[in-house]
Amino acid sequence: MTGEDDIGDTLTLLAETGDAISMYVPGNREPVLGRILSVDPEQPHFVMELNEGEVLPPGKVTFVTWLTSAKLQFRLSSEEWASVPGSPHLIPMVFPETCAVLNRRASERVETPLAVTFSASFELNGKLYELPIYDFSLGGIGLRCTKNAVKGLLKGRKLLNVQLELESESVIVPEMEVRVTRSYKSFLLGEQLHIGCMFVNPTPEAEADIKTLLAHIHNIPQD
């Protein structure tokens, strides 16, 4: 992706959704976390909001996030990431010259409608949980919760007999695996955790029911 307009539209979408941005610096395996707060409607500028307590060291930074069904990556560099006066966690930045679109997912993920109850229920360590579903695809789902709502949902964790519910529709997925967890800051809800899960060898019956749920989501009006 090289066009300034395309890059601006992409960054604006990320600002609207508030999706987490992972920022990697050389010599440090742990990313600095944040989100895009705003994008200038006329100039190729945007403002990055760092999570509380995060600091972005000077030098080259690789920015990584998910956008719909693909991973988005771009790089920027500065000898000093000057912040907005009085707001050290807000850092003005200039658009990258290019953005790489990588590892496109096998199936498109669809965000669940805000006004509709869509949840996943499962048992973990003898306790029953019910978490809201953020996005949904034929291959898996994304869950959202507070960082302390569920402990033990680490990468590689297997969840059995997960019940997915959307209004009057329901389906049981025999097995699901946690593939990624990342924290982010929601403007309305504060610190949140996004949990990406993959369906493991779903039965033909489960696949058919999942396709029915996806069709149902597509037919719900998006306000």
Q: Mean of the per-residue pLDDT values for the chain?
A: 82
Percent of all residues in the chain with a pLDDT value above 70, rounded to a whole number:
83
Same domain, 66 and 144: no
Same domain, 72 and 127: no
Structural domain ending residue among the three candidates 79, 102, 125: 102
183 located within any domain: yes
The b/e string for 80-117 (b: 16+ C-beta within 10 A; e otherwise) is ebebeeeeebbbebebbeebeeeeeeeeebbebeeeee
Q: What is the pLDDT of residue 94?
A: 95
Same domain, 132 and 196: yes
Structural domain ending residue among the three candidates 70, 102, 134: 102
Question: What are the respective helix, strand and coil percentages of the chain, to the nearest 5?
Answer: 15, 50, 40
223 located within any domain: no
Owner of token pair 């508030």: 18
Structural domain ending residue among the three candidates 102, 119, 139: 102
Same domain, 96 and 132: no
Same domain, 156 and 214: yes
Lowest pLDDT segment from 44-48, 52-56, 99-103, 206-210: 99-103
Torsion from C-alpha of 165, 171, 172, 174, nearest 10 degrees: -120
Tokens of 170: 């329901």
91 located within any domain: yes
Banded model confidence at residue 222, pLDDT cuts 50, 70, 90: very low
CA 143: distance to chain centroid?
A: 9
Distance separating alpha carbons of residues 90 and 209, to the nearest angstrom:
44
Same domain, 135 and 181: yes
Distance separating alpha carbons of residues 118 and 217, to the nearest angstrom:
10
Distance separating alpha carbons of residues 53 and 82, to the nearest angstrom:
16
Q: What's the pLDDT tens digit per position in 102-122?
A: 755 545 556 655 555 788 899
Same domain, 40 and 88: yes
Same domain, 84 and 50: yes
Query: Which range of residues forms the domain containing residue 187?
Result: 110-218
Whether the model pTM is above 0.75 = no
Distance separating alpha carbons of residues 171 and 164, to the nearest angstrom:
5
| DSSP secondary structure of 61-124 | EEEEEEETTEEEEEEEEESS-PPBTTBTTEEEEE--S--EEES--SS--EEPPTTS-EEEEEEE
Q: What is the pLDDT of residue 69?
A: 59
Same domain, 97 and 11: yes
Same domain, 83 and 41: yes
Same domain, 134 and 180: yes
171 located within any domain: yes
Q: How many structural domains are present in the chain? A: 2
CATH number at residue 46: 2.30.110.10
125: left (phi over 0), alpha (psi -120 to 50) or beta: left
24 located within any domain: yes
Same domain, 72 and 118: no
CA 57: distance to chain centroid?
A: 24
